[in-house]
Amino acid sequence: MRELESFIYKISSPQKIVITTHHKPDADALGSSLGLANFLKKKGHEVTVITPSDYPSFLHWMKGNSEVINFEDKTQQSKAASIINEATMIFCLDFSCPKRMQDMQDLVEKSHAYKVNIDHHQDPKDFTDFQYLSTKAAATCELVYELIVEIGDKNLIDKDIAECLYAGIMTDTGGFRHPNTTKNVHMITAELIGIGADNSKISRLIYDTNSINRLKFIGFAITRRLVIMEDLKTAFFAISKKDLRKYNSQTGDTEGLVNYALSLGGIKIAALFTEREDGVKISFRSTEDVAVNKFAATHFDGGGHKNASGGKSSLSLDDTTEKFQKLIKENYNILFNQAELIHEKN
């Protein structure tokens, strides 16, 4: 409680605020960042959102997008570093471990600013002065809304803020399909719609805004890069750098691809392996009764939520997928016993 009081006192006077999030921000990361930024600006603060990297173009509609600084942009790094060094407050949103900031980590950690962490991921690290955390929350946008309400400023949430927050909650619940879609989620999104969030517009902008190259890439991935391990209830995509170049892939083009594998009947674990310049990026998904977060943490230097986790590999793409298939076979009983027990009870 004293930490909350200290936070409220801190934002009661004008501050130089930096808001940042994890590398390759998704809708929850950017929505919580811009939603909070727009709110804090209304309270009279000087606010800059600095992202560790670029993010999908289908998120560019959010208010404040044009003012976001991309730290990976070499022409912006000096400016970003200066703003971080001068900041009196730094908000870290939608990540539980500083390394998720990648190249920004050192600057943020060395800053003497008062730091705030708002997040809903598992196993949070204690690296800030004030933490507003809940692993029960479906999205960081949910927590940003609750924090604004808790400090008594719900009246400052306008249409633009509501739409940023709605976007993050909508996507992190898989369009309100995932098990994390709670009563609280529906109550908050109802409030956001009541404030003015256009839910159908947001859904269209995020889910139904594709380039021809992206549609061709998805078709190619499903027909040529999908591997089904039917006896192990597992399916995965392996996407090479060559594949990405062939379809002129942009940031966000692989978003949601892993869900096509999980949608197959009988499949309980899905993975997407994407070859990048700095290694293989991995996305894991699973059905409600199978946990993939510990598997990701133990074997692929990752983690996340029970049914949606990430990881990485320094091995080649082929070696990584070979390792994955071997691990699934070796850990089959551990991964699926829980699922089978739940099935038997039902």
Give the CA count within 13 Å in the CB-facing half-sphere of 208: 6
> Cα–Cα distance between 211 and 228 in angstroms, integer?
27
> Cα–Cα distance between 41 and 43 in angstroms, integer?
5
Beta strand pairing status for 308-313 and 303-304? antiparallel
What's residue 340's pLDDT?
Answer: 45
| Domain at 136, CATH number | 3.90.1640.10
**Which tens digit of pLDDT belongs to each residue from 266-321?**
999 999 999 999 999 999 999 988 999 999 999 999 988 899 999 999 999 999 99
**Which tens digit of pLDDT belongs to each residue from 136-162?**
999 999 999 999 999 999 999 999 999
Of 182, 207, 232, which residue constitutes the final position of a domain? 207
Same-domain check for residues 132 and 48: yes
**Which tens digit of pLDDT belongs to each residue from 15-35?**
999 999 999 999 999 999 999
**Which tens digit of pLDDT belongs to each residue from 182-215?**
999 999 999 999 999 999 999 999 999 999 999 9
Closest CA to 273 of 251, 288, 257: 257
What's residue 338's pLDDT?
Answer: 55
Give the domain range for residue 257.
212-345
Same-domain check for residues 261 and 201: no
Q: With contact defined as beta carbons under 8 Å apart, do 90 and 113 qualify?
A: yes
Rg from Cα positions in the chain: 20
Q: Please, what's the largest Cα pairwise distance for the chain?
A: 61
Of 171, 186, 207, which residue constitutes the final position of a domain? 207
What's residue 221's pLDDT?
Answer: 98
Same-domain check for residues 240 and 198: no
Residue 345 predicted with pLDDT over 50: no
> Cα–Cα distance between 14 and 45 in angstroms, integer?
5
What phi and psi values does residue 342 have, to the nearest 5 degrees? -65, -40
Report how many domains make up the chain.
2
What's residue 266's pLDDT?
Answer: 96
What's residue 73's pLDDT?
Answer: 96
> Cα–Cα distance between 57 and 78 in angstroms, integer?
24
Same-domain check for residues 187 and 49: yes
Locate all alpha helices (DSSP H) within the chain, ordered by sequence: 2-10, 27-42, 77-86, 105-110, 140-150, 159-172, 183-195, 199-207, 212-224, 241-246, 257-262, 293-300, 317-330, 332-345
Spell out a b/e string for 247-258, using b for 16 or more CB atoms within 10 Å of the CB, else e.
Answer: bebeebbbbbbb
Q: With contact defined as beta carbons under 8 Å apart, do 160 and 34 qualify?
A: no
| Cα 164 to the center of its chain, rounded Å | 14
What's residue 1's pLDDT?
Answer: 57
Q: With contact defined as beta carbons under 8 Å apart, do 292 and 250 qualify?
A: no
Same-domain check for residues 97 and 202: yes
Same-domain check for residues 203 and 229: no
Same-domain check for residues 217 and 194: no
Same-domain check for residues 193 and 238: no
Q: With contact defined as beta carbons under 8 Å apart, do 115 and 20 qualify?
A: no
| Domain at 298, CATH number | 3.10.310.30
Could you tell me the sign of the dihedral formed by the alpha carbons of 174, 304, 241, 223, in that order? negative
**Which tens digit of pLDDT belongs to each residue from 49-95?**
999 999 999 999 999 999 999 999 999 999 999 999 999 999 999 99
Residue 344 predicted with pLDDT over 50: no
Same-domain check for residues 216 and 135: no
Neighbouring residues of 118: CB distance < 8 A, sequence distance ≥ 6: 32, 36, 91, 92, 93, 94, 131, 132, 133, 140, 143, 144, 147
Mean pLDDT of 154-181: 96
Which 3 state secondary structure label does DSSP give 133?
Answer: strand
The pTM (predicted TM-score) of the whole model is 0.91
Same-domain check for residues 58 and 184: yes
Same-domain check for residues 180 and 117: yes
Same-domain check for residues 181 and 117: yes
> Cα–Cα distance between 273 and 203 in angstroms, integer?
26
